[in-house]
Structure 1
Amino acid sequence: MRTVKFIGNINTIQPVNITLPNTKGMPRSQGRPMIPASSLRGFIRHCAHEGITLLFDKHDKPMDIDFHYLLASGVDTGRVLGVSGQNTKVGANQQIRAKHPMLSLFGYWGLSGKLSVGNAVADNDNALLKVNAGARQHVFNRNEELSNFIDPSELDRLQDILDADKYSAEAIADYKAEKKELPKKIRETSDPDEKAAYKQRSEELDVLIRDAKDSRVGASESIQRPLEQFEAIDAGQMLPHRMLLKDPTDQELHLALWSIAMASLKPYVGGHTNANYGEIHAKWEVMVTDIDNLTPKSLGHVGFNDEGFFHTIEGFDVDEITKQIVDGTINIGSFVE
């Protein structure tokens, strides 16, 4: 019976943008923007998976698709483990955990991961940044001199593309604006016939938008169009953050620390990375309690910054864990029972 807590902060070095399904703008908790737990847990897990992938490739250890899905997503595509949440033999989960510490740490379908990762919620009311992404422009409008470097016979075709793009973009904008208003009209009316008519019009507009794109000269997507505004947590924000590791073995604890080391190699989360969004730094104090020590005891600190991965945890050696992963002392890829 042992609990390890990671208590610290995540710092946004660049703005962080997160997009979730069915969520407008940045995810929020009690009105404040946050980096959701799912994004942070996925960030750590996928960095660990990529680190293992590179190590195995470097040492000529083949990996199949089932291997990747299990480590990265917790999906047993090959049904090689034979354990599910609906039909589990007594003791089967303990056997899986003992043999596959990385899966025990992050989990897979039917086996809960021991590492719980919390949301990182901004504690500053001014943390939210609204970004006007500008507009995407035709390269020949941006730099008219480029027309001197194409064959004169192409100029008419170029003009056709520019004209068609302009006119279809205007039509599509009108269609989208009308479609955007329909959900409100559906909510406001109690007449079932009106609701049906609005839904039918929405489907018609989808067809009109698709047809307008398909009929374009050149690309189906408009080159010359405004880019949508988006929200982000601004750079320079300190977000309190916690993680919990439930009853880990020493090996599982060291794998969790090693996974944070792998995360330091790609320390960014979320979208718009082409604009250098998403870079973060992090630092946690690692606290442990067990049956003999009910008062939390600090094991040290772990995290990453511009100087890379750092820790002050006695007995943990990132290079030794890497060596054990490669030589099989820590079982990562042997999934056949």
Structure 2
Amino acid sequence: MSFFAENKRFSFNITGEVTAQSPISVSRPDDNFVSATGTKDKPRLPRAGAKKDATLPFIPGSSFRGGLRRAARDVIRRLTGEQFDIATSYMLTQGVDITNTMNSQKSAGNIGLEEPLRTLNPLLSLFGAWSLPGHTGVSDLIPTTPGSVFTAGGGVRTNDFIRDPKQIQFLSPEDAEKLQQIILDDSATASEVGELKKEISDLKAKMRDSRDKEVKASIQEEINHIDAMIKVKKESKSGATETIQRPLEGYEAIVPGTVMLHRLPLTMVNAMEMALFLESLATYAKNPVIGGHKNHACGFFSATYAIRYWPEDEDVSREVASIRFNETGFFIEGEIADELQSIRKTFRTAVSDGKFNFKAFLFKHAV
């Protein structure tokens, strides 16, 4: 069976496993919760439920989707050789219309123009924008085993001049004197701030134990006052606001080697959309990174996926191909592997021949 003859559209359920090759850490606003130190300073992984250590962590699908869409943009840049303007760059990368023309675009009178627009701009069709749903779904990444979280990046930041006093000889007399003041201020501030933070931890414990709203409000006022004192002490000292030599609480990350379930459903894609999806995934596979802390080489992963198709007149789906990638390469195997590789080549040629318009994002562009 040839799937992509006559520009037909098919849906595929792509499911598989993503394996963390290094710590993977994603932190979002409001995901943090109190740690053993009594603070919310340590960046936490998102939780699928209550914000507790025991609750299942996950990596948001949006983190993977963003990397995949940026890879698609890079594919188009490479194949077209074009330098897109800022409006097109935002639309291709994030589906954001900085011209605000999509908001005023009326659907009335545009019936039947969605398909021409999708055909004209397969990247927009795959990943979507306002008023044009994307055909690519990306699920969250869910660890398959408990105990998949650890604290990465912890330790102590040292002052290099304390660690290696011989470095002082390379300073001018004026800077050597300034260094001495910085070290003295750092030491004093660290001690004072540490005591104040201990007070805050104690007050927060009292707040958790109290059910009286007025008592809680009073305690919060004390906490705010101490926070202000800490800020003043940090800003009044010599050198950097934060003390140079200090403990680092680190951040939560997925343990390397953890296997996570993942799903990439494709809904009613044609040959060129499937080809762009594969080109994007192959490009993403060359630098497969999710999340932050790249200075610590975090975020790297490998993956294996099965591509399944469910015929309308049958009760079971069937696997038609598989995809896998790791540090050795990107591989497509299975029943329709040759057809998938063929449409990739056709897509590259079509882009080079100018068959698409990746600047098009309005229905009127497809008229």
- The alpha carbon displacement at 1:157 in A equals 0.7
State how 1:167-316 maps to structure 2 within 5 Å: 167-180=188-201, 185-186=206-207, 188-291=209-312, 295-312=316-333, 313-316=337-340
Q: Secondary structure at the match of 2:310?
A: strand
Structure 1's consecutive aligned runs of 4 or more residues displaced over 6 angstroms after TM superposition are none
- The alpha carbon displacement at 1:188 in A equals 4.8
CA distance in 2, matches of 1:162, 1:280: 41
Which residue in 2 is equivalent to 1:321?
347
Change (3 A) 1:327 1:166: farther
- The alpha carbon displacement at 1:192 in A equals 4.6
Which residue in 1 is equivalent to 2:46?
27
2:57 maps to 1:41: no
Change (3 A) 1:239 1:193: closer
CA distance in 1, matches of 2:307, 2:87: 33
Which of 5, 15, 39 pairs up with 1:7? Answer: 15
Change (3 A) 1:258 1:178: farther
Contact 1:35 1:119 in 2 (8 A): yes
Which of 144, 148, 153 pairs up with 1:123? Answer: 144
Q: Secondary structure at the match of 2:340?
A: coil
CA distance in 1, matches of 2:10, 2:332: 21
- The alpha carbon displacement at 1:68 in A equals 2.0
Superimposed CA distance per residue, residues 231-282 of structure 1 (whole angstroms, 9 cap, x where no aligned partner): 2221122222221111112221221111101111211112222122211011
Q: Over aligned residues, Cα RMSD in angstroms?
A: 2.8
Change (3 A) 1:191 1:34: closer
- The alpha carbon displacement at 1:305 in A equals 0.9
Contact 2:126 2:273 in 1 (8 A): yes
Which of 88, 92, 98 pairs up with 1:71? Answer: 92
Letter in 2 for 1:330: F
Tell me which moved more, 72-81 or 91-100. 91-100
Letter in 1 for 2:357: N
TM-score relative to the length of structure 1: 0.86
Higher-strand-fraction structure: 1
CA distance in 1, matches of 2:281, 2:298: 20
Superimposed CA distance per residue, residues 171-230 of structure 1 (whole angstroms, 9 cap, x where no aligned partner): 334444444555555555454543443343344344333323322212223221111132
CA distance in 1, matches of 2:104, 2:300: 37
Change (3 A) 1:137 1:106: same
Contact 2:304 2:324 in 1 (8 A): yes
Letter in 1 for 2:306: E
- The alpha carbon displacement at 1:18 in A equals 1.9
Superimposed CA distance per residue, residues 93-129 of structure 1 (whole angstroms, 9 cap, x where no aligned partner): 4454343221221122333222111122111223222
- The alpha carbon displacement at 1:316 in A equals 2.8
Change (3 A) 1:192 1:241: closer
Q: Secondary structure at the match of 1:301?
A: strand
Which residue in 2 is equivalent to 1:333?
359
CA distance in 2, matches of 1:12, 1:116: 21
Letter in 1 for 2:355: T
**Structure 1: 5+ residue stretches without partners:** none
**Structure 2: 5+ residue stretches without partners:** 1-8, 33-43, 50-54
CA distance in 2, matches of 1:149, 1:114: 60
- The alpha carbon displacement at 1:167 in A equals 2.1
CA distance in 1, matches of 2:107, 2:271: 26
Counting matched residue pairs gives 332
CA distance in 1, matches of 2:139, 2:293: 23
The alignment-based identity, stated in percent, is 29
- The alpha carbon displacement at 1:160 in A equals 0.6
Letter in 2 for 1:321: F
Letter in 2 for 1:168: T
Letter in 2 for 1:333: K
Which residue in 1 is equivalent to 2:165?
144
TM-score relative to the length of structure 2: 0.80
Tell me which moved more, 180-189 or 111-120. 180-189
Change (3 A) 1:246 1:269: same
CA distance in 1, matches of 2:24, 2:187: 33
CA distance in 2, matches of 1:68, 1:178: 49
